[in-house]
A and B are shown apart, each in its own frame.
Chain A
């Protein structure tokens, strides 16, 4: 009897073991996927067709002019020297008005005839400059008084553009710098030079004022108009410039992909000056080297594949 009990126990134990193994298989996930060993070489080969297919454009490194600009908001103003306020010398009744707002006048053109209250004689009011009547307060029969009633005549053949210079740009804005005046995205920008920079800052806006004088023979620029002034602060020739699209950031470092017979390789570069389109490369790239000018992102991703290929992380 003892034997039977012992053998029962042994068989039960054995079966328990096997049974457990069986269910164990049920919960075991066995990894059949083989993670391919990716080559860790820093160079990779890409055929020309592949580059074409994925829109990767290469270019030869060369020098060029790097224009750096600062954009400043500005406003067109009438040149105060070319504005005349023509007021009646004596108070009197307006007899006749010859010019209306908007009329073009020449110097010494008759503007109005006024009968003086004092002498009761009439006298003529003539323009002192060539220009356009911007404003006038004369109605026939009205008593014209100084200084309320006047003709404002402005010569708009030249206007001022006053640009607001923020504190942080003050050191870079200099007299004589060229400014591209942008009125709207459609128009061709107008060029001008900075002719004056205010020595003090506006107390309200904390900006300095830089002035550009613009020729305005066609009366294209209207005082009061807002414009954007693109001040060219730097315009030097750099030995090596590349379009901004060529730069990729890998591990927080700027990288350019160079192409040679061995393949494509990422090169860490040092950046010099830059503008919104191009950057100067100080080191890391040599003149005449072929580099990826556009589409480098795909390459960057290819080089970083292992790091993000870690599972479909939904």
Chain B
């Protein structure tokens, strides 16, 4: 150890150089670190989408989802396979184990996709992977403003799809642009059923004719004289006219054109989503998805740069207007943390100057802050941790801790420099000073690092949310230790004044202050040392107070972060049509616009292009942008406005409203399904039975005391019109099932018969019957079908047509259908509730063969976490104890130190209570940090006391004078830590909500633990000292 320090000092130039290099690298890392609002909380997941036009959920599941799932099963590192089959769309989510490389995962999925597409029947779509992005990858939303009001929704969508999108997609980091709203332009061939009869033509023939009359070919080249001419034949349909001129049939030389059979027009494709704005009109919009692992704010900046360029290029009057940007949040939360960091650093430096009363040593110590921060950044970029609210919070928490090691070392160096005889060389003195204090410094830092380790074992979204915080704290502490050992001593040599210590005589303000403190402290500590029982009583009183207050604290998961944007989620009846949901959404928007503080509202109903978040058409998100706060009428808070919104929307019939925020919504969706304390997944095959048994389970659960909010997942509720083909009837007429179904598919649903090219833009050609002949049950019954023998029959002769209520969507997990029954538990211990529930279910419900339940939810997460913690926590504690033991070679001493912990906790609890905050994840992290911090003070003090006793001072005397001598470093480390956090206590910016409880706990805990360290440890020292034998 001595050798190490000696080496450091002998190579001090090298050490400083290394320091400079690290600072440089740190700055470089800082410039290149990805910035995000929140840490990446999604597990590696690859989404496979398959669009299957017009199929109902059952068919989607059977024909598409199942083959995809089967193909994916058995891939390595798969954690879970979940799927949703809904009208016209199949989504299979392949979850991989945490830490799987996303590109590797995608490659695996891609290989199997080939196999899956072969298994999917022809014409039912091709499975495709979603964008390389995560849930929080939707960084910017915009809509197209048409001031001229001359463009139709189809035209605007064409502008979006063919002008804006290709440009945006070229921006590095943008992986996908998802269009929502408006209508995709298509050429519609509306075939008159009468005409089919008249000309004896089937729809299929028309589709074939369109396909065979729409192509360009190349025919190599010809040589004319010495020149080469490329030969091409042009036969592509370019316009409605071209389309109309396609000859379908020729009778006696009289051509029958498509025009004669059908009306050809331009219309919008069938859509499952739309956007509206301000209750005024529909808009066309886009969502920008960033590439996995890229820097959100940089991408948004790049998009904004392009924005003016794009707007110049767009037709007059059309503008691209962003209405939600994650950047605002990223910047706001980063600036909150950065401000806190800067203020914290200032405060810490102030304390240093005050206590060290020496600019030079303060400088040596203060340098450790930028060094450690930048070194941590190097670590972050090495380990791929992005700069986000959580990781930066970790740094903010660590500020005060960063200087602790250096304070202790530098303080010791300067103390010894003042006292020791000038015979020793400066280097020697520094080495001695460092060695003396080296062990407790290393050990106390190690202990703080150790207590953060269990945080890394928490699973799920919570774990991933707070993991970066634990990592950065650990990184920062390691950096500060590195500084204290390698750079600090070297810098001390350069910066601290030469012997003899001149400043001894000058009495600075800081010195006066300290003398005053010591004068104040000495009688108190003497009293306590004389009457140790008093300190025991005080300790017990403190503990008692803590024990009383602790149960009174409320609890919550994470305090809600104010993101600046409010989202009103609307939910309507599952059977609603898109047009009706649009009408209702616009009425809701109109009401919102009546609130004067609201600037703009934009609603997304349903789902736009595939690749974004999937929402059924009965659901929507209303984004609310507020006017600048200065324009708010009354001094309203955001909460106040949200109350106003709730009030306004309370009376909207048929719409369920809830308020959330963009990122909160996305993260909530991630943990959806396990939101309840208890989630029972019932697996089985028959949807009806699942529903019935699910209701049974819900009933049994509801009867158990403590059950609250029991809910069965709504799986049914979509009306269907089922055309069941009567096999006897078709047998009589000699018609095939496919003959009927072809007509059903193309006449009612419409069939794409190729594309029309307009330059590079391409639009589908849709062949379909007019609305009048397919728009109602009656009309569908009357659709005529021609048999091969020439009989013309209405569909109702060949099939039973009936209206039923079918499934909305079919959810599957690991190849099994399931529904979820959720339940919360109140006023009761969840473990016993689950036990009772299991017992009751077993007795009361007999599940059919093949049906089974899986118990999950928050309860399961807790159980799993507890299982791990029960092993990890004692191990960590034992390691801490052995570290303490190693340091002191005394179990008693170690115990005395550990006594600090409960006292620190009491302070944290009281602080939370006084500031009216709840127990939450951040505050519990604060408690965890306290464990380590509280120990540090005690260790520094006790080491010195032991040393004094060793030197022959009596225990009592040592207790008093030792405490007096150590007042300065103890107070300093405590104050720097507390003041480093102080800005977080008073910050009001975005993200401060999350950091405040943490800071509160640490500051509160420090206050009690420092007071008690200074009074209780000296008092009890004699009982815990080993030196009495």
Q: What 10 pairs between A and B have smallest CB-CB spacing?
A: A301-B654, A301-B573, A302-B653, A309-B656, A298-B654, A205-B791, A302-B654, A25-B924, A27-B865, A19-B873
Identify the closest chain B residue to A11 (Cβ). Answer: B898
Cβ distance A6 to chain B, nearest Cβ, rounded Å:
11
Chain B residues whose CB sits within 8 angstroms of the CB of A99 once the complex forms: none
B919 at the interface (CB under 8 A from A): yes
Q: Would A185 and B669 count as touching, CB distance under 8 A?
A: no
Q: A20-B869, A301-B576 are in contact. Are A12 and B672 (CB under 8 A)?
A: no
Chain B residues whose CB sits within 8 angstroms of the CB of A314 once the complex forms: 613-615, 619, 669, 672
Q: Would A312 and B669 count as touching, CB distance under 8 A?
A: yes
B878 partner, pick from A12, A204, A205, A312, beta carbons under 8 A: A12
0/1 string, A25-39, CB within 8 A of B gives 1: 111111110010000
Q: A18-B905, A204-B789 are in contact. Are A26 and B921 (CB under 8 A)?
A: yes
B115 at the interface (CB under 8 A from A): no
Q: Would A164 and B891 count as touching, CB distance under 8 A?
A: no
Q: Would B920 and A312 count as touching, CB distance under 8 A?
A: no
Q: Would B571 and A46 count as touching, CB distance under 8 A?
A: no
Q: Would B711 and A310 count as touching, CB distance under 8 A?
A: yes
Q: Would B733 and A311 count as touching, CB distance under 8 A?
A: no
Q: Would A308 and B573 count as touching, CB distance under 8 A?
A: yes
Chain A residues whose CB sits within 8 angstroms of the CB of B625 once the complex forms: none
Q: Would A304 and B862 count as touching, CB distance under 8 A?
A: no
17 contacts between A and B (CB under 8 A): A5-B891, A19-B877, A23-B865, A24-B866, A24-B869, A25-B555, A50-B651, A164-B792, A166-B797, A226-B198, A297-B576, A297-B654, A298-B653, A301-B576, A308-B572, A311-B822, A312-B571
A120 at the interface (CB under 8 A from B): no
A262 at the interface (CB under 8 A from B): no
- Having A25-B921, A29-B677, A204-B789, one finds 4 other A-B pairs with CB under 8 Å, namely A26-B466, A226-B194, A301-B653, A314-B669
Chain A residues whose CB sits within 8 angstroms of the CB of B194 once the complex forms: 226, 228
Cβ distance B618 to chain A, nearest Cβ, rounded Å:
8
Q: Would A26 and B793 count as touching, CB distance under 8 A?
A: no
Cα separation A55 to B586 with both chains bound (whole Å): 12
Q: Would B862 and A12 count as touching, CB distance under 8 A?
A: no
Chain A residues whose CB sits within 8 angstroms of the CB of B569 once the complex forms: 312
Cα separation A206 to B734 with both chains bound (whole Å): 12
Chain A residues whose CB sits within 8 angstroms of the CB of B921 once the complex forms: 25-26
Q: A25-B919, A166-B793, A302-B653 are in contact. Are A15 and B898 (CB under 8 A)?
A: yes
B714 at the interface (CB under 8 A from A): yes
Cβ distance B203 to chain A, nearest Cβ, rounded Å:
16
Chain A residues whose CB sits within 8 angstroms of the CB of B271 once the complex forms: none
A218 at the interface (CB under 8 A from B): no
Q: Would B654 and A23 count as touching, CB distance under 8 A?
A: no
Q: Would A29 and B858 count as touching, CB distance under 8 A?
A: yes
A16 at the interface (CB under 8 A from B): yes
Q: CB within 8 Å of A: which of B644-659?
A: 651-656, 658
Cα separation A46 to B572 with both chains bound (whole Å): 18
Cβ distance A47 to chain B, nearest Cβ, rounded Å:
8
Q: Would B873 and A308 count as touching, CB distance under 8 A?
A: no
A220 at the interface (CB under 8 A from B): no
Choose the segment among B397-405, B746-754, B776-784 that binds chain A (4+ C-beta atoms closer than 8 Å): B776-784
Identify the closest chain A residue to B665 (Cβ). Answer: A312
0/1 string, B887-927, CB within 8 A of A gives 1: 00001101100100110010000000000000111011101
Cα separation A312 to B570 with both chains bound (whole Å): 9
Q: Would A15 and B790 count as touching, CB distance under 8 A?
A: no
Identify the closest chain B residue to A299 (Cβ). Answer: B653
Q: Would B584 and A298 count as touching, CB distance under 8 A?
A: yes
Q: Would B658 and A26 count as touching, CB distance under 8 A?
A: no
Cα separation A144 to B992 with both chains bound (whole Å): 107
A7 at the interface (CB under 8 A from B): yes
0/1 string, A243-276, CB within 8 A of B gives 1: 0000001001000000000000000000000001
A41 at the interface (CB under 8 A from B): no
Q: A28-B862, A205-B792 are in contact. Are A23 and B924 (CB under 8 A)?
A: yes
B304 at the interface (CB under 8 A from A): no
Q: CB within 8 Å of A: which of B560-583?
A: 569, 571-574, 576, 580, 583
Cα separation A304 to B587 with both chains bound (whole Å): 20
Q: Would B462 and A26 count as touching, CB distance under 8 A?
A: yes
B881 at the interface (CB under 8 A from A): yes
Cβ distance A144 to chain B, nearest Cβ, rounded Å:
24
Chain B residues whose CB sits within 8 angstroms of the CB of A312 once the complex forms: 569, 571, 619, 658, 665, 668-669, 672
B892 partner, pick from A4, A22, A299, A310, beta carbons under 8 A: A4
Q: Would B797 and A301 count as touching, CB distance under 8 A?
A: no
Q: A16-B877, A25-B921, A30-B556 are in contact. Are A166 and B794 (CB under 8 A)?
A: yes
Chain A residues whose CB sits within 8 angstroms of the CB of B784 once the complex forms: 73
Question: How many residues in A have their beta carbons less than 8 Å from beta carbons of B?
Answer: 60
Chain A residues whose CB sits within 8 angstroms of the CB of B878 once the complex forms: 12
Q: Would A8 and B794 count as touching, CB distance under 8 A?
A: no
0/1 string, B618-649, CB within 8 A of A gives 1: 11000000000000000000000000000000
Chain B residues whose CB sits within 8 angstroms of the CB of A20 once the complex forms: 866, 869-870, 873
Cβ distance A157 to chain B, nearest Cβ, rounded Å:
24
0/1 string, A224-235, CB within 8 A of B gives 1: 001010000000
Cβ distance A170 to chain B, nearest Cβ, rounded Å:
12
A300 at the interface (CB under 8 A from B): yes
Chain A residues whose CB sits within 8 angstroms of the CB of B554 once the complex forms: 30
Q: Would B858 and A28 count as touching, CB distance under 8 A?
A: yes
Identify the closest chain A residue to B920 (Cβ). Answer: A25
Identify the closest chain A residue to B923 (Cβ). Answer: A25
Cα separation A227 to B691 with both chains bound (whole Å): 49
A313 at the interface (CB under 8 A from B): yes
Q: CB within 8 Å of A: which of B766-798?
A: 772, 776, 778, 782, 784, 789-794, 796-797
B8 at the interface (CB under 8 A from A): no
Identify the closest chain B residue to A31 (Cβ). Answer: B824
Q: A301-B576, A312-B669 are in contact. Are A23 and B458 (CB under 8 A)?
A: yes
B74 at the interface (CB under 8 A from A): no
Cα separation A228 to B569 with both chains bound (whole Å): 48
Cβ distance B128 to chain A, nearest Cβ, rounded Å:
20
Cβ distance A289 to chain B, nearest Cβ, rounded Å:
21
Cα separation A46 to B919 with both chains bound (whole Å): 43
Q: CB within 8 Å of B: which of A17-74?
A: 18-20, 22-32, 35, 46, 50, 53-55, 71, 73
Cβ distance A154 to chain B, nearest Cβ, rounded Å:
20
Q: CB within 8 Å of A: which of B187-244?
A: 194, 197-198
A226 partner, pick from B197, B709, B931, beta carbons under 8 A: B197
Chain B residues whose CB sits within 8 angstroms of the CB of A107 once the complex forms: none
Cα separation A27 to B877 with both chains bound (whole Å): 21
Chain B residues whose CB sits within 8 angstroms of the CB of A167 once the complex forms: 797
A137 at the interface (CB under 8 A from B): no
Q: A12-B877, A252-B805, A311-B672 are in contact. Are A50 and B714 (CB under 8 A)?
A: no
Q: Would B587 and A305 count as touching, CB distance under 8 A?
A: no
Cβ distance A242 to chain B, nearest Cβ, rounded Å:
17
Q: CB within 8 Å of B: which of A195-229?
A: 204-207, 226, 228
Cα separation A249 to B866 with both chains bound (whole Å): 49
Cα separation A300 to B877 with both chains bound (whole Å): 60
B861 at the interface (CB under 8 A from A): yes
Cβ distance B807 to chain A, nearest Cβ, rounded Å:
13
B454 at the interface (CB under 8 A from A): yes
Cα separation A12 to B824 with both chains bound (whole Å): 33
Cα separation A299 to B652 with both chains bound (whole Å): 10
Cα separation A8 to B675 with both chains bound (whole Å): 40
B531 at the interface (CB under 8 A from A): no
Cβ distance A171 to chain B, nearest Cβ, rounded Å:
14
Q: Would A4 and B895 count as touching, CB distance under 8 A?
A: yes
Cβ distance B363 to chain A, nearest Cβ, rounded Å:
38
Cβ distance A70 to chain B, nearest Cβ, rounded Å:
9
Cα separation A304 to B655 with both chains bound (whole Å): 10
Q: Would A27 and B789 count as touching, CB distance under 8 A?
A: no
Chain B residues whose CB sits within 8 angstroms of the CB of A18 once the complex forms: 902, 905
Most buried by A among B713, B826, B895, B924: B924
Q: A185-B772, A205-B792, A309-B656 are in contact. Are A19 and B869 (CB under 8 A)?
A: yes
